[in-house]
Amino acid sequence: MIHWEGQNIMINGNIYNPGSSSYTERIIALQGVLKARQEVQNSKAYAHNPMWSNVLGSPAEIEQAEQTIEESLAIAANDFHKNELKQAIDEGLLSDKDVRDVMTAIHRSEMSAKRSVNGSDEKKQSDKQS
């Protein structure tokens, strides 16, 4: 487990954990993921500086945290409808950049799913030819 800016990040886990399925709780949890994402990006800039490694963790730990956060963002992104994201912008809860990041995560998740399906289809086709 990594302790990151007041949050405990489980290795191979997920930090998107809304208290309930309500819009407000999901937005709060998403804001936490987005904040952690920004913090890990900032930490990467200093990851190889020996003076900061004791504070920030090793580059490998930072990379693991980043992977966990990106996986969490993908989970969070799929938990929202586009109209909810627009509402969050209108209410000042998320910025346009935040929503672009969420939409990018949705797109990546969809592309990954397509690659998985295509990969399994190609494997089935290859197995049939063998």
Identify the pLDDT of residue 8. 47
| CA–CA separation, 42 and 39 (whole Å) | 5
More confident residue, 73 or 2: 73
Mean pLDDT of 72-79: 92
Residue 10 DSSP one-character state: -
Give this prediction's pTM. 0.74
Identify the pLDDT of residue 113. 78
Identify the pLDDT of residue 130. 52
What digits encode the pLDDT tens for the residues 76-129? 998 999 999 999 999 999 999 999 999 998 888 788 778 877 776 555 565 555
- CB-based contacts of 55, cutoff 8 Å, min separation 6: none
For residue 61, CA distances in Å to 3, 6, 12, 48, 58 come to 10, 16, 12, 12, 5
The residues pairing with 8 across neighbouring beta strands, listed in sequence order, are 3
DSSP 56-69: H--HHHHHHHHHHH
In this prediction, residue 59 has a pLDDT band, given cuts at 50, 70 and 90, of confident
More confident residue, 130 or 109: 109
What digits encode the pLDDT tens for the residues 19-44? 899 999 999 999 999 999 999 988 88
**In the chain, domain spans:** 2-129
